[in-house]
Amino acid sequence: MNEGDGELPTSVFISVTKITDSTSNDVTSSLINSPRVCYSPKGSKEYTADCLHHLKPSVGMIFDSLKEAESFYKVYAAHCGFQVRNGTDKKQKQTVGKEIVEVIVLKYFLCTKQGYFQPKPRNHDAECSQMRKRSMTRSGCSACIRLRYSSGGKYVIYYFHESHSHPFLTPSSIPFTKEFRQLTQVQKQHIFNNAKLNIGPVKSYRMSKEHCGSYNNVRATKTDFKNFYRDLKVYIGDKDGFMFKENFERKVQASNGGFYFDYCVDEHRHLTRAFWADSICRKNYALFGDIVTFDSTYDTNKYFLDFSPFTGVDHHKKCVTFGSALLSKEDTGSFNWLHF
């Protein structure tokens, strides 16, 4: 901050109402006029958005909190076609009543393209020196607002740089920016329900597109669906065996004895054996259980548990299931536990 920015005019006091979240339709409808383009003294292009006056920040605007100021600037950015990130802040200890608290006295909100990319030095001696490749989005943009702590716990804009060093986002790309690209609770529940049916995040994303009508209406990307699916698996962690047991025990209680389930764990509380059969499987066994086929090499999974179904044939010569099992070992102990 330069000391020559000047003091806030005492005659200026602008009341700013709280800005609510805008929808993508409100954002794209305001992007009708093309931005103004001019050249700086150094010969570089500068872009200025043709935005509605009541949405544009100005020196002297007063906000009740930094959160309100951030919301106001983000709404302005969405209507113009750029994104906002948090910048520098400065804290000081001040006396509030009888207490000494630390408050933010200076705060910057910047365009995401502010500054230039500075790569971090790589440690080639480390065991894993690989770094994720990221696209370089910084272009030295100077657009920002700077706020100063004022009396009464309010914040005032004392500096506003309007022009940008880069073109603005197009209306079709705004719904895919970080500010708008967020999964709703319904979409998260949709991914979770599909995961229980062994449907991955990519198929869930395509199903959401069919439900919403287009990818623009999904308001999220395929990567967002993958990231939430990844976070979901990390959250479950090593509690997956417990969830497996709880799920089948609920089915046992809800079936009034029609659903059968049993399991075994080792000394580390890891699931080693499990068997289950619902009422239909038990009815099939009572009717067609004269000949039973047991295949302990039917399929495996990432837990190295063999899925082993008990099957038979009904009077229509159709395959029917009598029960299913998961086995960690194909040994005598496992087979004795399963059959007897």
Measured at the CA of 155, the angle between CA 153 and CA 157, to 5 degrees, comes to: 165
Q: Is residue 128 part of a domain?
A: no
Beta bridge partners of 276: 261, 324
45 in the same domain as 85: yes
Rounded Cα distance between 51 and 186, Å, is: 33
Q: Is residue 249 part of a domain?
A: no
Q: Is residue 216 part of a domain?
A: yes
Rounded Cα distance between 324 and 329, Å, is: 15
Q: Is residue 327 part of a domain?
A: yes
282 in the same domain as 164: no
Q: Is residue 197 part of a domain?
A: yes
Measured at the CA of 249, the angle between CA 245 and CA 252, to 5 degrees, comes to: 145
- pLDDT digits 0-9 by tens, 314-334: 999 999 999 999 998 888 888
The alpha carbon of residue 68 and the mean position of all alpha carbons in its chain are separated, in whole angstroms, by 23
Tell me the Ramachandran region of residue 43: left when phi exceeds 0, alpha when psi lies from -120 to 50, beta otherwise: left
- Give the count of domains, the chain: 3
DSSP symbol at 282? H
94 in the same domain as 38: yes
164 in the same domain as 196: no
Rounded Cα distance between 6 and 162, Å, is: 18
- pLDDT digits 0-9 by tens, 288-321: 999 999 887 766 677 788 888 999 999 999 999 9
Q: Which two tokens stand for residue 77?
A: 């950015």
How sure is the predictor about 12, in pLDDT bands with cuts at 50, 70 and 90?
A: very low
Q: Is residue 195 part of a domain?
A: yes
H/E stretch holding 202 reads helix 201-212
Contact of 260 with 282, CB cutoff 8 Å: yes
Identify the domain containing residue 158 by its residue range: 7-116+137-173
Please report where in the chains the tokens 């931005």 appear, as a residue.
Answer: 35
